[in-house]
Amino acid sequence: MTVLDRFYEGDVRALSKVISYVENRYENFQELLGRVYRRAGHSLRIGLTGPPGAGKSTLVNCLARAFLFEQKKVGVIAVDPTSPFTGGALLGDRVRMNGFPADGSFYFRSMATRGALGGLAATTDNVTVVYDSFGFDITLIETVGVGQIELDIINTCDVVVVVLVPESGDSVQTMKAGLMEIADIFCVNKADRDGSDRIVMELRQALDTRKKIENSWRIPVIPTVGIRDENTGKLVTKIENFVSFQKESGKFERHRKEQLEKKIKNILREQVTGMILEKLGEFADFEQIINDIYERKGDPYTVARELFAKVTP
């Protein structure tokens, strides 16, 4: 029996192998993805993002438990903001699987930035396809920060929950951080702390003053205390409400098709990059070229144009 057969039968070890294969971009990994892709399409992708220390991991665990209780299979991807230089998660994330069922209805994987430009968003997206075809009803994606890559990752989700804490600062700061535009739902976690009411109120006011578009989703602000699992049920309900709203309005399908278009273009871009680097390797003296430019005997723009002419017949 092949790994893929065992994967389709729900073998968790086969799942791990398929993910590693995709993560490490082994030979023909895209063919493998193409095959599993056709069995996918049922999983709901929920993204949680926000500043470090907002308690996203705890909330993800709460949401996972809530969905498991609804008899749903849940897969988690935690995208670790570790720098591209260390190449791995610093904190022992395996700890986080403690207390969850080991019968294949729950799976956790953390992923760290690995240097390759654009690689992390693409890899995360590919792993969601694997999760989906494995049969997870819910995929929870957790990211930190508001950089472009984090936005790319969160844009692959059907629902985006932005998690803040009372310490997150006033709403101008929030808007500056670019979180306002990506949130479908706001969650103010650690809501038992001072200043919680204030930030909840400020966020609601800021959301109220935005231009109202008819029949648009009204972004809710949910206070929670993840560590005591308080009000997280409300968060689940709001997520489900949002999904219903999106499906009824046709936005769910439209959004997924837009994502698909981006995905195809990204895969193409990646393939082209691979081809270029390969062809560049064939050139005799790239080092000499660099030295010349460094001494201002040339410039990178002209050199790139010349190389472009050479690599594209």
According to the binding rule CB under 8 A, does residue 296 interact with a copy of itself?
A: yes
According to the binding rule CB under 8 A, does residue 281 interact with a copy of itself?
A: no
Q: Which of 107, 102, 56, 105 is nearest to 79 (CA)?
A: 56
DSSP state of 225: B
According to the binding rule CB under 8 A, does residue 193 interact with a copy of itself?
A: no
Q: Pairing relation of β-strands 221-223 and 159-164?
A: unpaired
Q: In whole angstroms, what is the distance from residue 166 CA to residue 249 CA? A: 33
The answer to whether 223 and 191 have CB atoms below 8 angstroms apart is: yes
According to the binding rule CB under 8 A, does residue 90 interact with a copy of itself?
A: yes
Least distance to a copy of itself from the beta carbon of 226, Å? 18
Q: Which of residues 92-121 bind a copy of itself (CB under 8 A)?
A: 113, 117-118, 120
Q: In whole angstroms, what is the distance from residue 157 CA to residue 44 CA? A: 8
Q: How many residues bind a copy of itself (CB under 8 A)?
A: 82
According to the binding rule CB under 8 A, does residue 26 interact with a copy of itself?
A: no
The answer to whether 235 and 185 have CB atoms below 8 angstroms apart is: yes
Q: Which of residues 123-142 bind a copy of itself (CB under 8 A)?
A: none
CB atoms within 10 A of CB 175: 12
Q: In whole angstroms, what is the distance from residue 76 CA to residue 105 CA? A: 11
CA distances to 289, 301, 302 from 311, in Å: 16, 15, 14
According to the binding rule CB under 8 A, does residue 12 interact with a copy of itself?
A: no
Nearer to a copy of itself, 70 or 268 (CB): 268
| The only residue of 10, 104, 145, 195 in contact with a copy of itself, by rule CB under 8 A | 145
Nearer to a copy of itself, 19 or 149 (CB): 149
CB burial of residue 251 (10 Å; 0-12, 13-18, 19+): middle
According to the binding rule CB under 8 A, does residue 4 interact with a copy of itself?
A: no
DSSP state of 96: G
According to the binding rule CB under 8 A, does residue 180 interact with a copy of itself?
A: yes
According to the binding rule CB under 8 A, does residue 268 interact with a copy of itself?
A: yes
Q: In whole angstroms, what is the distance from residue 33 CA to residue 11 CA? A: 17
According to the binding rule CB under 8 A, does residue 10 interact with a copy of itself?
A: no
Q: In whole angstroms, what is the distance from residue 125 CA to residue 110 CA? A: 13
According to the binding rule CB under 8 A, does residue 207 interact with a copy of itself?
A: no
Nearer to a copy of itself, 133 or 224 (CB): 133
According to the binding rule CB under 8 A, does residue 38 interact with a copy of itself?
A: yes
| The only residue of 205, 275, 278, 288 in contact with a copy of itself, by rule CB under 8 A | 275
In the chain, the largest separation of any two C-alpha atoms, in whole Å, equals 67
According to the binding rule CB under 8 A, does residue 286 interact with a copy of itself?
A: yes
| The only residue of 12, 146, 227, 243 in contact with a copy of itself, by rule CB under 8 A | 146
Nearer to a copy of itself, 68 or 146 (CB): 146
